[in-house]
Amino acid sequence: MQPELIIRNGTVFDGLGNPGIWADVAVYDGRIAEVGSVAGDGAREIDATGLFVTPGFIDIHSHSDFTLLVDPRAVSSVHQGVTLEVIGNCGHGCFPLVNKALAKNSIYGITGDLALDWSTPAAYLDRLEAAGPAINVLTLVPNGQLRQATVGLAERPANPDERQEMCRHLDEALDAGAFGLSTGLEYPVEMGASGEEIAELLQPIARRGLLYATHTRKRDQGALAAVEEALVTARDAGVRLQISHLLPRGGRADCEASVELVQRARDGGQDVAFDMHTRDFSLTFLHAMLPPWAMAEGLGGLAGVLSSADNRARIHAYPSIVTSGGWERVTLLDNDVAPEFARLDFNSIGQRLNMMPGDAALELLCRSANAARPLMIIRPVYDVADQDLAFGHDLCVPGSDATALCPDGPLAGSAFHGAYGWAAWFYRVYVRERALLSPAAAIHKLTGQPAAVLNLANRGVLRKGARADIAVFDPEVFADAATLWQPNQTALGMNFVLVNGALVLDHGAITKNRPGRVLRHGSGQ
List contacts with Zn ion (CB under 5 A). 90, 215
Q: How far is the CB of 184 from Zn ion (least distance, A)?
A: 6
DSSP SS3 for 100: helix
Q: What residue is closest to Zn ion based on CB?
A: 90
Q: What is the DSSP code (8-state) at residue 433? A: I
Q: How far is the CB of 61 from Zn ion (least distance, A)?
A: 8
CA distances from 100 to 184, 206, 411 (A): 19, 30, 22
Q: Is 208 exposed, middle or buried (0-12, 13-18, 19+ CB in 10 A)?
A: middle
Q: Choose between 20 and 418: whose C-beta lies nearer to Zn ion.
A: 418
Q: How far is the CB of 245 from Zn ion (least distance, A)?
A: 6
Q: Choose between 86 and 466: whose C-beta lies nearer to Zn ion.
A: 86
Q: Choose between 7 and 90: whose C-beta lies nearer to Zn ion.
A: 90
Q: How far is the CB of 94 from Zn ion (least distance, A)?
A: 16
Q: How far is the CB of 363 from Zn ion (least distance, A)?
A: 27
Q: Choose between 6 and 321: whose C-beta lies nearer to Zn ion.
A: 321
State how far the Cα of 154 lies from the Cα of 156, in Å rounded to an integer. Answer: 6
Q: How far is the CB of 273 from Zn ion (least distance, A)?
A: 16
Q: Choose between 78 and 247: whose C-beta lies nearer to Zn ion.
A: 247
Radius of gyration of the CA atoms of the chain, in A: 22
| Nearest Cα residue to 147 out of 106, 208, 175 | 106
Q: Choose between 90 and 462: whose C-beta lies nearer to Zn ion.
A: 90
CB 491 within 8 A of CB 481: yes
Q: How far is the CB of 142 from Zn ion (least distance, A)?
A: 11
Q: Choose between 90 and 191: whose C-beta lies nearer to Zn ion.
A: 90
Q: What pairing do the DSSP bridges indicate for beta strands 272-277 and 240-243? A: parallel
Q: How far is the CB of 244 from Zn ion (least distance, A)?
A: 5
Residues 6+ away with beta carbon under 8 Å from 241 = 211, 212, 213, 214, 230, 231, 234, 270, 271, 272, 273
DSSP SS3 for 204: helix
State how far the Cα of 293 lies from the Cα of 9, in Å rounded to an integer. Answer: 61
Q: What pairing do the DSSP bridges indicate for beta strands 52-55 and 5-12? A: parallel
Q: What is the DSSP code (8-state) at residue 518? A: B
Strand runs labelled E in 56-167: 57-59, 82-87, 136-139, 141-142
Q: Choose between 187 and 327: whose C-beta lies nearer to Zn ion.
A: 187
Q: How far is the CB of 397 from Zn ion (least distance, A)?
A: 15
Q: Choose between 215 and 249: whose C-beta lies nearer to Zn ion.
A: 215
DSSP SS3 for 390: helix
State how far the Cα of 497 lies from the Cα of 491, in Å rounded to an integer. Answer: 13
CA distances from 213 to 84, 141, 210 (A): 17, 10, 10
Query: Which residues are bridge partners to 466 per DSSP?
Result: none
